[in-house]
Amino acid sequence: MNLALLGGGRMGEALVGGLVDAGWEPETISIAEIDPDRRRHLEEQFPGTRVVPSPAWAVADAGLVVVAVKPGDVVDVLASCSTSLPEGALLLSIAAGVTIDTLETAAPDRPVVRAMPNTAALVRKGAAAISAGKLATDADLAACEQVLGAVGVVVRVPETALDAVTGLSGSGPAYVFLVAEALIEAGVLEGLPRDIAITLVRQTLLGSATLLAEGDETPEALRAAVTSPGGTTAAGLRELEDHGVRSAILAAVEAAARRSRELGRT
Ligand SMILES: NC(=O)c1ccc[n+]([C@@H]2O[C@H](COP(=O)([O-])OP(=O)(O)OC[C@H]3O[C@@H](n4cnc5c(N)ncnc54)[C@H](OP(=O)(O)O)[C@@H]3O)[C@@H](O)[C@H]2O)c1
């Protein structure tokens, strides 16, 4: 199937990179990108792909169209290529907050799938959720899973759950970066040189995430395994509980999901 990518920015580039590495023929991929410098960069990165300035040129023979421009550009970009969009072409949008209703209005009679990816897709460790529009079939969802699966894991949810996904995995990397910042400052407070604290924190987060992702154990079991009775970790964890960290995380995800709902209404 020919794939057209509208918007060759950071996410678009990550997706094409994942697809080409997963074995998609570069010759079946067209990329529409308005910025000439980005076009040159994409041509160098992905020899064999067709990189063009116009969305209408990119979609002309596409079976699957991935919309990866900024949310505010989605409607204009789809309007600019609506007459060239082949009948039956499947539309996969990764634009944050752009609803299925908006996409279906902008691309009438085409199956639509809306995705909420996260920034970790840039390093192929993304967590994305997808939701089907009215005309999207199981095969359409499977095709979208294949595309987003090239840069991470993909789950299916109804569109009503996408605000919760936004609050959890969409915003989640920022919560983890905040924890990293705080840990680095704590190391400095305890007298460690900053560069040493940064090295230790980066590797601690990477190692912990790898244990969580690659093993079978739950977070609770992993935490219990490093919490010896009366030990140092137990003392540290009690402080986190006393300061309401668990409750703060619940409130953070709740607030982000609420904000996503508010933005969706406007
Ligand atoms: N990055 C993330 O972590 C993340 C996470 C979740 C969802 N998303 C979603 O993914 C989408 C892409 O994000 P991104 O970070 O990749 O943004 P980005 O780097 O700004 O990429 C968008 C690209 O599309 C280009 N563009 C704009 N209008 C165009 C048009 N008419 N025709 C062709 N190309 C056009 C932009 O060019 P100009 O810069 O010249 O305008 C830019 O190069 C967004 O909708 C965002 O909500 C991103």
Residue 266, pLDDT > 80, answer no
Q: Write the pLDDT tens digit of every residue in 45-85.
A: 999 999 999 999 999 999 999 999 999 999 999 999 999 99
Q: Which atom of ligand 1 is nearest to the CA of 118?
A: 5
Tens of pLDDT, residue by residue over 134-155, are: 999 999 999 999 999 999 999 9
Q: Report d(CA 183, CA 33) in Å as an integer.
A: 40
Nearest CA to ligand 1 atom 42: 9
* pLDDT tens per residue, range 121-138: 999 999 999 999 999 999
pTM check: above 0.75: yes
Sheet of 152-156: strand order equals: 50-52, 29-32, 3-6, 64-67, 90-93, 112-116, 126-132, 152-156
pLDDT digits (tens, 9 = 90+) for 8-30: 999 999 999 999 999 999 999 99
| H/E run at residue 237 | helix 232-242
Please tell me the distance from the alpha carbon of residue 4 to that of residue 49, in angstroms, as a whole number: 10
Q: Which tokens belong to 213?
A: 């992702």
Say what percent of the chain tops pLDDT 90.
95
Q: Which atom of ligand 1 is nearest to the CA of 71?
A: 45
In the predicted model, is pLDDT for residue 98 greater than 80?
yes
13 lines ligand 1 (CB under 6 A): no
- Name, in order, each residue with C-beta under 8 angstroms of 105's C-beta and a sequence gap of 6 or more: none
108 three-state secondary structure:
coil
Distance, CA of 66 to CA of 198 (rounded, Å): 37
**How close is the Cα of 7 to the center of ligand 1, in Å?**
6
10 pocket-lining for ligand 1 (C-beta < 6 Å): yes
Cα–Cα distance measured from residue 252 to residue 258, given in angstroms and rounded to the nearest whole number: 10
Q: What is the pLDDT of residues 199-217, one digit of tens each?
A: 999 999 999 999 999 989 9
Average pLDDT over residues 185-199: 98
For the Cβ of 132 lying below 6 angstroms from any atom of ligand 1, the answer is: no
Instruction: Give phi and psi for 130, each to the nearest 5.
Output: -125, 150
